[in-house]
Chains A and B, each alone.
Chain A
Amino acid sequence: MGTGNKRIQMPFGPQHPVLPEPVQLRLVLEDEIVKEVVPNLGYVHRGLENLVMKKDINQMIYVAERICGICSFQHGMALSLALESIAKTEVPKRADYLRVMWGELHRIHSHLLWLGLSVESMGFESLFMQCWKIREKIIDVMEATSGARVIISTSVPGGVRRDITDEQAQWGRKLVREVEQEVREIEKVFFNDYTVKARTVGIGVLTKDDAFNYAIAGPMLRASGIKQDCRQMGYAAYDELEWDIPVSNDGDCYARMIVRVMEIYESVKLVQQAFDKLENSEKGEINVKFKANVIAGEAFARVEQPRGECLYYVKTNGTKHMERMHVRTPTFANVPSLLKMLPGSELADVPVILLSIDPCISCCER
């Protein structure tokens, strides 16, 4: 290194201490500065969309949930919404509140997981453990309400599979409030710490125009000044609940971190409102009968996952098998933005920038 303008190629991954997931960045460096990058995926592609030929519609809900563990509920919900749209099925209101509750619990635990991993890449081992400790409470709520800790498999076409009791709603509300308080205690590190700022402010900048040109999604999009969130479409019960969309105009790694922290608070607000609605509404139906062999048609469902908008294109032909199911996960949309963010950055910043997109390779290798 350090020999003038000599360029070297350096593989970053697919096995790397910072990112134990199978993705590779082929970096071209000039001294310590990244000049070019080519992201390389496909090491563990599973061909899950292909299973529509073998699995019926109800079985495909389980497959969809296994595209990604962290946002599994939203995958199942997105496919359910697409099928319900084709069959013109209206789900019971209580099911909508339950979908909001589980969806936002997933968002909180995903953001806490990411915040932990992100600060760990900067050397904050104890903060990483603190984030994951707080996350455990969310996982406990999911376990108590659904019977499973991560892949909860509660969304089905026509509604949800399980209901919750008033006691569970009260207990869950208390735990979520504790989570909010604990996040507020550690937020000052994310917001103000010298090292965090030194590693993130002005690093990996995407302007508003870049965000549009690279078609990025989710917190990354909002951290670049575009106030867009698929929940604004009002699926499930989002149109009746009060919440805000955190936005930043800085477009750097720091802005992405702040947006995710603020989104935790918004999700807490949504979960609390969902618990209120569930407690105060009449206990009744949580799903309606849904025939597996829905009529022929096509739909394009969009839901906001923790990492951004997830799109499900579904085409049915009146049999119990779908003709085509295509999923665009948020990470798949965000990976091309590395072509813009990494050139010009220092090698030491590559892990921080890569982690700032909250990469989920499981989502890409669907």
Chain B
Amino acid sequence: MFEMTNVKDITVDELRPEVQKLFDAKYRFLIITCIDLGDQFEFLYQFDMDLVETTLRLKVAKVNDKATVPSISLICISALLIENEIQDLFGVVFADILIDYKNMLLKTDPDSAPYRVANLIVQNVKSEKSNEGGQA
């Protein structure tokens, strides 16, 4: 029942026109999901029409460990919170967000990006080491 079926791969340039097209066709914005794939980020933009969801899948390569994506909050205002959250958690920059909290939504260090896979591995190693020390 919950398989992802209507998925369309898009490029960065196609993002805003595609979102505008869905918005004009009365698709309701649901959520953006960000996944760190190592050398690139994957973004899933999900929309709903009569309880059937449509997904736009966008992959953005990291350049010098950074990535910039156009914000869709000027089209779907409700995207502003999730875009700010992704900025804080993944260190991705969303260009032209309606309200840019500048890493003050979750109050994270701009460079910390706690949900990045590389940072998670470092945290895990640290915590394992500290556990070993405690046992000794």
Contact = CB atoms under 8 A, between A and B. Distances in A.
B31 A328 contact: yes
A326 B82 CA distance: 11
A230 B1 CA distance: 12
B114 A333 contact: no
Contacts of B114: 47, 50
Given A47-B114, A326-B31, A332 B81 contact: yes
Contact of A215 (B1, B28, B50, B107): B28
B81 A215 contact: no
Nearest to B26: A212
B105 A42 contact: yes
Interface of B: 1-4, 26, 28-31, 33-35, 44, 46, 50-51, 53, 55, 76-78, 80-82, 88, 99, 101, 104-107, 114-115, 120, 124
Contact of A49 (B28, B51, B105, B115): B115
Given A42-B105, A85-B1, A228 B81 contact: no
A54 interface: yes
26 contacts: A54-B124, A82-B2, A213-B76, A214-B78, A215-B78, A228-B50, A232-B51, A233-B1, A234-B1, A235-B1, A235-B2, A299-B2, A299-B3, A299-B4, A300-B2, A300-B55, A302-B53, A311-B30, A313-B44, A315-B35, A326-B34, A328-B31, A333-B30, A335-B81, A336-B78, A339-B77
A300 B82 contact: no
Nearest to A315: B35
Nearest to B99: A38
A313 B33 contact: yes
Given A50-B115, A213-B77, A301-B2, 14 more contacts: A40-B101, A42-B104, A42-B107, A53-B120, A53-B124, A54-B124, A215-B28, A299-B4, A313-B44, A323-B35, A326-B31, A326-B33, A333-B30, A337-B78
B78 A302 contact: no
A298 interface: yes
A215 B120 contact: no
B42 to A, nearest CB: 9
A156 interface: no
Contacts of A38: 99
Contacts of A339: 77
B99 A332 contact: no
B83 to A, nearest CB: 11
Contacts of B44: 313
Interface extent on A, as a size class?
Answer: 35 or more
Pairs of residues from A and B, 3 with the lowest C-beta to C-beta distance, nearest first: A42-B106, A215-B78, A328-B31
B51 A324 contact: no
Contact of A42 (B26, B50, B77, B88): B88
Given A299-B2, A313-B44, A332 B77 contact: no
Specify which of B28, B50, B106 lies most central, judged by the most chain A CB atoms within 10 Å of its CB: B28
A332 to B, nearest CB: 6
Contacts of B78: 213-216, 333, 336-337
Interface of A: 38-43, 45, 47, 49-50, 53-54, 81-82, 85, 212-216, 228, 230, 232-235, 298-302, 311, 313, 315, 323-324, 326, 328, 332-333, 335-337, 339
Contact of B2 (A47, A85, A214, A216): A85
B35 A324 contact: yes
Contacts of A233: 1, 51
Contacts of B34: 326
Specify which of B1, B55, B78 lies most central, judged by the most chain A CB atoms within 10 Å of its CB: B78
A215 B30 contact: yes
A40 B106 CA distance: 9
Given A332-B81, A335-B81, A339-B77, A45 B124 contact: no
Contacts of B82: 328, 332
A41 B81 contact: yes
A38 B74 CA distance: 16
A333 B81 CA distance: 9
A202 B41 CA distance: 44
B53 to A, nearest CB: 6
Contacts of B4: 298-300
A302 B3 CA distance: 11
Contact of B77 (A214, A230, A311, A328): A214
